[in-house]
């Protein structure tokens, strides 16, 4: 039977690119996100190309919504072998003394508790497959800090801690845990969400950077990690564009 992969945050960016790539790799991909219209468009694209997919409306911050995702997955034929926790995001670039508590709360709810909620709900199905992988798409923001990024880096540090702890706790069981930490990735929506729709501020992040990463680069990383022989666990994969030597060191051409 066709193995099943679940991708959260599948309606755009890295999530959508990952769903397309995994469908090409032979998975039946469960597309999970809040925006059903976008999921339906992606579903049509994947199936038109000969792939298999199912669209499920899911808000990772809601227990009931995640329960609905789990029920939908349980109704599908085939082993559940891959979960890609991709849903997440950033809001604001305020310094801590000016922090918006609501933005911090949202970032923690989506990045950390969303990953926790979905992973906890799907672990039984993953374990039943006998050879499963949980991928956590975190960020290089989970490995360092920068001014104005306190809320996002705090959430991503917590997500990184979750992934590492889960790997320890599942040791001896047939579930790999992979953490992928992208650096500068240019997508259509990440910056717009962070800057409340301000397209100029979003574009300025990438100003002068000839080749930032794109969503398909991270999808390639996810697929590579997920398709290694199952005894091979890629604990952490840090991926940045050539122009970004570190979080604070980016080569820009004026």
Residue positions annotated with a catalytic role: 152
Residue pair 67/49 in contact (Cβ under 8 Å)? The answer is no
Residue pair 160/202 in contact (Cβ under 8 Å)? The answer is no
Cα separation, 251 vs 254, whole angstroms: 10
Q: With 0-12 CB in 10 A as exposed, 13-18 as middle and 19+ as buried, what is 2? A: middle
């Amino acid at each position: 039977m066709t193995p099943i992969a679940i991708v959260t945050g599948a309606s755009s960016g890295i999530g959508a690119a990952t769903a397309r790539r995994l469908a090409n790799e032979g998975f039946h991909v469960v597309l999970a996100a809040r925006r059903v219209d976008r999921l339906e468009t992606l579903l049509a694209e994947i199936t038109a190309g000969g792939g298999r997919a199912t669209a499920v409306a899911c808000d990772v911050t809601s227990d009931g919504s995640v329960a609905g995702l789990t029920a939908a997955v349980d109704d599908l034929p085939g082993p559940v072998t891959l979960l890609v926790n991709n849903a997440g995001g950033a809001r604001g670039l305020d310094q801590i003394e000016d922090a918006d508590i609501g933005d911090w709360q949202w970032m923690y709810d989506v990045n950390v508790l969303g990953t926790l909620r979905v992973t906890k709900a799907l672990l039984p199905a993953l374990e039943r497959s006998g050879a499963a992988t949980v991928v956590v798409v975190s960020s290089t923001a989970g490995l360092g800090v920068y001014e104005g990024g306190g809320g996002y880096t705090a959430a991503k540090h917590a997500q990184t801690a979750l992934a590492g702890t889960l790997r320890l706790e599942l040791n001896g069981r047939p579930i790999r845990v992979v953490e992928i930490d992208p650096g500068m990735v240019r997508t259509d929506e990440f910056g717009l969400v962070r800057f409340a729709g301000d397209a100029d501020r979003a574009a300025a992040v990438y100003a002068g950077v000839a080749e930032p990463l794109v969503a398909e680069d991270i999808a390639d990383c996810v697929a590579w990690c997920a398709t290694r022989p199952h005894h091979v666990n890629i604990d952490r994969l840090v991926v940045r564009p050539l122009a970004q030597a570190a979080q604070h060191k980016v080569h820009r051409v004026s």
